[in-house]
């Protein structure tokens, strides 16, 4: 199955169906690759309309759950908080290929797949 472009609503509905599953989140930003593994307990969104600058995103996808994140030594350690935040922007694209989700923002590309 090829990549299927989704609306934010379709993306949200499909991703929420993965609640209770273990997922791996991969973030590619410039030359940096980060991996996080977590039990997805819930999916929510935040709106920050009182931003002081462009560094704080107006909208974020919040993946809630416990898990581990890869550190600089490529070792897994507990996540600092039971939350993984993905900043969203106006140009964010949402795709699903049948087994993984892809999000591309102006700053980074994210893949969410079952672990």
Indicate which CATH number applies to the domain containing 53.
2.70.180
In the prediction, which pLDDT does 62 show? 94
pLDDT digits (tens, 9 = 90+) for 50-60: 545 555 557 89
Q: Looking at beta carbons, which pairs linking 9-15 to residues 24 or more positions away fall under 8 Å? A: 10/94, 11/94, 11/96, 11/101, 11/103, 12/43, 12/45, 14/96, 14/101, 15/43, 15/101, 15/112
- Is the pTM higher than 0.95? The answer reads no
- The domain containing residue 105 runs over which residues? 4-114
- Structural domain count of the chain: 1
In the prediction, which pLDDT does 51 show? 47
């Amino acid at each position: 199955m090829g990549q299927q472009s989704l609306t934010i609503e379709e993306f949200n509905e499909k991703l929420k169906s993965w609640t209770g599953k273990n997922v791996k989140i991969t973030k590619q930003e410039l030359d940096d690759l980060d991996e996080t593994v977590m039990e997805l307990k819930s999916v929510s969104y935040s709106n920050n309309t009182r931003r002081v600058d462009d560094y704080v995103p107006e909208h974020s996808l919040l993946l809630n759950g416990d898990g581990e994140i890869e550190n600089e030594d490529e070792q897994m350690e507990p996540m600092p908080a039971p939350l993984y935040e993905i900043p969203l922007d106006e140009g964010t694209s949402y795709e699903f290929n049948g087994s993984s989700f892809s999000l591309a923002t102006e700053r980074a590309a994210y893949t969410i797949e079952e672990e």
